[in-house]
Amino acid sequence: MTTLSDFSATAIDGTDMDLSQYAGKVVLVVNTASQCGFTGQYKGLQQLQDTYGDQGFVVLGFPCDQFGNQEPGDEAEISDFCERNFGVTFPLSSKVEVNGDGAHPLFDWLKDSKGGLLGSKIKWNFTKFLVGRDGQVIDRYAPTTEPEKLSKDIEKAL
């Protein structure tokens, strides 16, 4: 059975990010963008990280430029923006695609695990997937779902 631990990505600083390091944790995987109407959700995501991080929870951000070119910067610009404007300390990957032939394998698995309104496609930036300690997808949340609304589900998973 496939789990979150079976995947890896490139971190925003160019190093390898083996997702097996999050085995046994509750993980919120989010495709992000710096110039999106939902970009303010970075603040709420960081609040979740601050609130639950010491209980075995982590937010993983995956910048994506597939929706309206809302993530045009390079990795250094993205990292600086997130840190400067929202105090982001949770891990970010380098830019990925989440739909289509070039989609990162992690997102293919997430979409197969929990389809959304558009079937297996991701509709927009800030689609969120909550993954349990067992590495399996618990739920999927629409871009419009504010991070604060996930607290009860996160607490239940922890």
List, by residue number, the catalytic residues.
Answer: 36
Per the document, the length of the chain is 158
Task: Provide the CA 12 distance to its chain's centre, in angstroms.
Answer: 13
Output the CA torsion sign for 30, 33, 37, 39. Answer: positive
Are 45 and 143 in contact by the 8 Å Cβ rule? The answer is no
Per-residue tokens: 158: 């922890």
Rounded Cα distance between 107 and 129, Å, is 10
